[in-house]
Amino acid sequence: MYNLAIGDRTYSSWSLRGWLMFAKFDIPLNVDTARMNTPEFLEMLRAYGGGRLVPALRIKDAHNTIFVSDTLAIAETLHERHPEKSMWPKDPVACGYARAIVAQMHAGFTTLRNDCAMNLRHRYKSFSPSDALRADLARIDEIWQAANAYANPDGPWLFGEYSLADAFYAPVATRIATYGLPVGNVAAAYVNTTLSDPVFKEWRATGLAENYVQPGYDLGLPTADWPV
């Protein structure tokens, strides 16, 4: 039995990554959620090993209760427990590159994270990216184009078929959409693929239905309709 603790669906990029690892690979899951920065949030996490970050995974089997925090650790745990799901690309060269770019996403792109918090409520019309943010975007363009060259079979995701790499980069796609960030044609197509995905749409719709505005996330900029 898998249980996953998550934060606000509209704002928690790490929670989105963790949830997609289950939803996109049809792995049954129970979800616990609480609003971030509240006593209820910390109380929820006490049942997940006592950490302070989401997502957090609790696994119960016949003999043990296992706690796994951190999205990269969760990804590798699921890959080990469900080899039949082919969560990484099957081709070993593509798999190596997929793991490398997931590690880059996990540890890097700090300007993108700091300047463009995930916010699925809005699409801004006049956000102005800094030079440092443009450098992050150029690197993302490069990564996604290189992944596309490995795609086999041909498909709309980074490596053709959906993989763990797509779960990790889904919040990047939402940030590009929310802030109207400048990217190339390959990246723009990938953003559209991510936002059009019914599983992602389910996540966003559930978050919007919660009808909660997390303080400090909205910008005082003109907005437009969500692109998909």
My answer on whether 75 and 114 are in the same domain is: no
Same domain? For 80 and 113 the reply is: no
What do you get for the CA distance between the two ends of the chain, in Å? Answer: 34
What is the residue-averaged pLDDT of the chain? Answer: 95
- Quick one: 67 and 139 in the same domain? no
What is the C-alpha to C-alpha distance for residues 96 and 165, in angstroms, rounded to an integer? 11
pTM of the model: 0.96
Q: Average of pLDDT values for 183-197? A: 97
pLDDT, tens digit, 9 for 90 and up, residues 120-167: 999 999 999 999 999 999 999 999 999 988 887 788 999 999 999 999
106 shares its domain with 190: yes
Cβ neighbours of 175 (radius 10 Å): 24
Segments forming the whole domain that contains residue 112? 92-206
Return the structure tokens found at 123.
């699409």
Dist CA 64 CA 99 (whole Å)? 29
**CA distances for 202 relative to 158, 205, 227, angstroms:** 21, 5, 15
Report residue 191 as tokens.
């953003």
Give the CA count within 13 Å in the CB-facing half-sphere of 138.
Answer: 7
Q: Which residue in the block uniquely carries the two structure tokens 């957090």?
A: 56
8 neighbors 36 (Cβ within 8 angstroms): yes
Does residue 19 carry a pLDDT above 90? yes
CATH code (residue 76): 3.40.30.10
Q: What is the mean pLDDT of residues 39-44?
A: 95
- Number of domains the chain contains: 2
Contacts of 126 (CB under 8 A, 6+ apart): 180, 221, 222
